[in-house]
Structure 1
Amino acid sequence: MPELPEITALADFLDQRLSGSQLTRFMLPSASALKVAVVSPESLVGRTVLSVGRHGKYLAFTIKSAPEAVPAEGPLSLIVSFAKDGWLKFSDTQPGTSPEGYFAAQLGFSNSGHDYEITLTDDGSWKGLALYIVRQPTEVRGIAELGPDALSPAFDLEEFHRLFTKRQQVKGLLRDQKRIAGIGNGYSDEILHAAKLSPVAIASRLEPDAVERLFRSMKEILQGAIDELAGKGPSELKPAKKASMRVHGKTGEDCPVCGDTVREIAFVGTSLQYCPTCQTNGEVLAKRGAGES
C-alpha cells in the first residue's frame, strides 16, 4: 500500500506537470470505483487543475470550479484512495491509448502544449482503489477521520506522547490512520527497527525514552524517504521504496545493522518483518503475537 513518502513524491511530481493544466478526458469504465460525486465526472472535463497534493495516504487533485459556478462554492477536489494494490501510470508521450487489463479510470491533461495521461490501476484480486469528487476533502470520511500528519511540524513529541495510553501494540498504533496519518505496514516496520523496538510491544508500557526514540525515528525515516524519492516518477517510486527498506520485505536476509536474520510474522492478509537482535533482545516472536492487542 502506498504510504506518506511515495504519495508525497507522487503528488509533487504530478503537481509540477499538471498544475495549471486543463482536464481533457475523464474515462470511467466502471462506476464501482467512484464512491462519491457531487458533480458528474464528465463535468470536470475542460476545467483547470489548480494543484496536486495529499491528505495522509490520499492523493488530491484540486480542480477549479465551473465558470458558471457561484464564486463562494470554491474549487472541487478529486480524491484518490489507492487502497492496498492501487497505483497509477503516467504518460506524456502517447495520450489517448487504451490501457490493457483492469483500470479504474483514465484522465487526460493538456498544459502549455504538453499532453499527459494518468491511468489509475489496481492489481489486487479485490479492487479497492476508490475515487471521490467532493467540494471539501473532509467530505471523504477517511480524510475527515485522519489523525495528525506524521510529518506535520505541529505534531510534536508532547502530542505524540499522548497517544501511548492504550493497551495497543505499537505496530498497530503507528498504522492507525485515526491516530497518525500516513504510515502503513512498510514504514512502520522500518521505524520500529530504527527505534530498536519490538512490533508487539504494548504502547502504554513504553518508557518515556523509548517513546521519544520512536518519535525521532518516525520523523527521520519518513523525511529521509521523502528526500530519497523526490523527483522520481510513478514507475520508479515503488522499486525505489522496496530497495531502501532494511527489514520490511527482507525475510531471511541479513539485518544491515547487526547481521542477524530478519524474521517474519505472517497473519491474515499481511505480514511484518523485524530483527530479533535489534528489536526483541534475540527473541523470535510467536506467530500469534501479531494479532494480539
Structure 2
Amino acid sequence: MPELPEVEALAQHLRDHAVGRTVVRVDVASMSVLKTASPPWTELHGREVTGAVRHGKYLDLDCAGLHLVCHLARAGWLRWSDNLSPAPPKPGKGPIALRVNLGGVGFDLTEAGTQKKLAVWVVASPDEVPRLAKLGPDALSLDVGGLTEILAGRTERLKTLLTDQSTLAGVGNAYSDEILHAAKLSPFATAGKLDAAAVERLHDSMQEILRDAVARSLEQDAARLKAEKRSGLRVHGRTGMPCPVCGDTVREVSFADRSMQYCPTCQTGGKQLADRRLSRLLK
C-alpha cells in the first residue's frame, strides 16, 4: 500500500509536471472508484491545475478550486505519461480506473488485483471528504512533545496506534514495522507506557525512516515507475531473513489480511511474539 513517502513523492511529481497545465478531459473507466456524484467529474474539464498536496495517505489535486482527491488503497498507483494515449481507456478492461488528460500528458490511476478499493472524490474542498476530516496530525509534523501528547494514556499496542489514521496520519503497515525496528521497540508495547527515552527514540526513528523513504521515492521518479519500497526496508517483508542490524532471524505475526515483521533481538529482548493478534510474548 502506498504510504506517506510514496504519496508525498507523487504529490511532488504533480507539482513539478501538472501544475500550470489545463485538464483537457477526465475519463472514468471504473465508476466504482467515484465516491461523489456532485459536482460531476466533468466539472474538472477546462480547469487549470493549481496545486497538489498530500493529506496523510491521500493525494489532493487542486484544479482552480475544485479538488480531485484520491486514496490509492492497497493496490492502487498513479502512473504519469509524457505521451498519453488520445484514446480513452476501455471500461472494465485492464487496471486503469481513471485517466486525467492534461493535453498529451497526464496520468492514470490504476489498481491491480480483485479487491477494488481505490477511491476518488471530486469536491469543492478537501474537508468534504469524510475520511480526511477524521485524520490525525501528520506523522512528519510532530515534534517530541506532540508525540508524547498522542501517546499519553493510550492503551493500544504501538503497532495499532501507529497505523490508526485518526491518531497519526500517513504511516501504514510497512513503515510502522520499520519505525519500530529502528526505535528498538516491540510492536506489542503499550503506547502509553513508554518512558521519555523510548518516546524520543520513536520520534527520531519516525522522522528518519519517513524522510529517507521520501527522498528515495523522489529519486526513483515514483510517478513514472511502479511503487517500490523493498530496497529501503530492513524488516518488513523480510520474514526468515537475517536482521541487517544484529543478524537474528526476522519473525512475522500474521493477522486478518496482513502481517507484521520484527526482530526479536532488536525489539523484544530475544523473545518471539506468538502468531496471534491478541497474544502476549511467548514464555
Corresponding residue number in structure 1 for 2:144: 157
- Structure 2 letter corresponding to 1:159: G
TM-score, normalised by the number of residues in structure 2: 0.92
Shift in Å at residue 291 of structure 1? Answer: 7.1
Query: Where does the alignment leave 5 or more consecutive residues of structure 1 unmatched?
Result: 65-74
SS in 1 for 2:216: helix
- For 1:1-293, what aligned pairs fall within 5 Å after superposition? 1-64=1-64, 75-97=65-87, 98=89, 101-110=94-103, 115-152=104-141, 155-164=142-151, 165-231=153-219, 232-236=221-225, 238-239=227-228, 241-289=229-277
Q: How many positions carry a matched residue from both structures?
A: 275
TM-score, normalised by the number of residues in structure 1: 0.89
- Structure 2 letter corresponding to 1:9: A
**C-alpha distance after superposition, 1:150-173 (max 9, x if no partner):** 111xx2211211222121000111
SS in 2 for 1:21: coil
Q: Residue 187 and residue 156 in structure 1: after superposition, are their counterparts in 2 closer, same or farther (change >3 A)?
A: same
Shift in Å at residue 36 of structure 1? Answer: 1.5
Q: 2 CA distance for matches of 1:196 and 1:144?
A: 32
Shift in Å at residue 124 of structure 1? Answer: 3.1
Q: 2 CA distance for matches of 1:222 and 1:58?
A: 16
Query: Where does the alignment leave 5 or more consecutive residues of structure 2 unmatched?
Result: none
Q: 2 CA distance for matches of 1:37 and 1:140?
A: 13
Comparing 199-208 and 89-98, the one that deviates more: 89-98
Q: Residue 237 and residue 124 in structure 1: after superposition, are their counterparts in 2 closer, same or farther (change >3 A)?
A: closer
Shift in Å at residue 260 of structure 1? Answer: 0.7
Shift in Å at residue 250 of structure 1? Answer: 0.6
Corresponding residue number in structure 2 for 1:69: none
Check conservation: 1:95, 1:117, Cα contact below 8 A: no
Check conservation: 1:81, 1:130, Cα contact below 8 A: yes
Shift in Å at residue 131 of structure 1? Answer: 0.6
Check conservation: 1:35, 1:132, Cα contact below 8 A: yes
Q: 2 CA distance for matches of 1:14 and 1:252?
A: 38
Q: Residue 150 and residue 291 in structure 1: after superposition, are their counterparts in 2 closer, same or farther (change >3 A)?
A: farther
Shift in Å at residue 17 of structure 1? Answer: 0.6
Q: Percent identity?
A: 45
Q: 2 CA distance for matches of 1:281 and 1:221?
A: 22
Check conservation: 2:135, 2:168, Cα contact below 8 A: yes
Check conservation: 2:60, 2:69, Cα contact below 8 A: yes
Q: 2 CA distance for matches of 1:60 and 1:193?
A: 31
Corresponding residue number in structure 2 for 1:67: none
Check conservation: 1:265, 1:290, Cα contact below 8 A: no
Check conservation: 1:267, 1:290, Cα contact below 8 A: no
**C-alpha distance after superposition, 1:6-38 (max 9, x if no partner):** 111111012101001011121113322110243
